[in-house]
Structure formats: C-alpha cells, structure tokens
Amino acid sequence: MGLASWWDRHGVPRMIKFCCGAPPIMKLRSKLIPQARGDVFEMGCGGGINQQFYNAAAITSYAGIDPGAKLLGYAKAEAEKKGWKADIREGVGEAIPFGDESFDTVVCTYTLCSVQDQHQALKEMRRILRPGGTLLFLEHGRAPDADVAKWQARIEPWWKPFAGGCHLTRPISSAVSAAGFVVQPMGAEYAPKTPRWAGWMEWGAAMKEG
C-alpha cells in the first residue's frame, strides 16, 4: 500500500471528522439539522457528526450514504449510540440508491465539495425528494471576494489530493438553484479561525416545488 492510498484510507477520514467537527461548524449544524422532518436522507452521512442534532421525534425514518468504509463505520456507531433505526449504505451522490420521491428532507453538509459531479449529485437529491420537500444544506466553497477566489484556484490542485478530493472553487447556493431548487438562504460567512481560502460557507433551505 502506497503512502497516498494509506492516507486516503486512514488519514482523510480522521481529518474530515476532526475538521468538520470544529466548534463553529458544530454550532451551525446544531441550528440547521433539527429542522429535518419526516423521512430523512443524509448525503455524505459518514462520520455520523450530524446525528446528535436530529430531532428523532420529528423524523419518521433516517437513511444515508457515504462512499468511505471507515466513515460509514463512524456513522453506524453513532446510530447505535442514538438508539434509532438507520438505513446507512455505501454509495455515491451521483447515483443515490433510493427511489424517486422517497424522502421529505435531504440533508447535505460539507459534501458537495468532494463529489465527482456536483450538478449530478444535486439532481439526484432533487429526484429522491417528494414535491414540497426540502434540501437543508451547509457547505463551503467559492468565496465572493476576488482576491480570496484567486488563491482558492491556485491552492485547489494541491489541496484536493490531501483532502479527499475536496474542491475549494465550487459555487454553493447558485449551484443548488441551478439544479431546480427554490433556495431560501439562511447565512453566509467565513469560518472563524480558518484560512479564508478554505473557510467560505453558505447554508440554507431549498425546496423542491411540486
């Protein structure tokens, strides 16, 4: 096993769990995730970081996918800790293994940066939502400031292999809108105590009109 393969298998999952569990990010999760209702699907559920914030009384069922075996292990352990039934599967966002209009809420946090095809993943999330359903998103991506965006473009080729394919330059809210959702922005800011090239975040709710 080469160093790159070892890092992808062992280093990246630990780094994701650590970085995505930083206190400012957890605070945002704690405000967004409890809004999930009904049959819920979580895109990139690996790590299980969001599970503590779901209001189980408002949720009929919970399902999620992640391509990483180690991260899936974390997610299943969190489901056991929470004590709820969870359908957690290995899968990719470009081909979600659930039927059309299966869910009332889709949750996607810090995942659109690393999917292979952002637009296709968003189309898939829209496909599995019922009419009137909601996508709750919290993502990092392309900064609105030109000087920061320039540095993001420079750093991204070096950053992606280190950070599990994470892109720094992808749009967020505009990409969600382009996939056919009606976006209701909730906030946008640079994460505190984070390099600006890595810290631009946007979050909100996006409805699938029926």
DSSP string, the chain: --HHHHIIIIIHHHHHHHHTT-HHHHHHHHHHGGG--EEEEEET-TT-TTGGG--GGGEEEEEEEES-HHHHHHHHHHHHHHT--EEEEE--GGG-SS-TT-EEEEEEES-TTTSS-HHHHHHHHHHHEEEEEEEEEEEE---SSHHHHHHHHHHHHHHHHHTTT--SS--SHHHHHHTT-EEEEEEEEEPTTS-HHHHEEEEEEEE---
Residue 169, domain extent: 3-207
Distance CA 196, CA 151 (A): 9
Q: In CATH, what number is assigned to the domain containing residue 188?
A: 3.40.50.150
CB neighbour list of residue 158: distance below 8 Å, 6 or more residues apart: none
Q: What is the pLDDT of residue 162?
A: 83
Task: Report CA-CA distances (Å) from 42 to 89, 136, 152.
Answer: 11, 9, 27
Please report which confidence band the pLDDT of residue 71 belongs to, taking 50, 70 and 90 as the band edges: confident
Nearest-5° angle of CA 99, CA 103, CA 109? Answer: 105
Is pTM beyond 0.85? Reply is yes
What's the pLDDT tens digit per position in 141-169? 999 999 999 999 999 999 998 888 899 99
Is the pLDDT at 3 greater than 90, yes or no? no
Looking at the 3D structure of the chain, how many domains does it have?
1
What's the pLDDT tens digit per position in 169-183? 999 999 999 999 999
What's the pLDDT tens digit per position in 40-51? 999 999 889 999
Mean pLDDT calculated for residue range 64-91: 91
* Pairing between β-strand 59-66 and β-strand 200-207 as defined by DSSP bridges: unpaired
Report the chain's mean pLDDT, rounded to a whole number. Answer: 91
Provide the token pair at 13: 């999952």
Is residue 140 within 8 A of residue 113, CB to CB? The reply is yes
Q: What is the pLDDT of residue 136?
A: 98
Residue type, 91: G
Is the pLDDT at 20 greater than 60, yes or no? yes
* Bridge partners for 109 per DSSP: 138
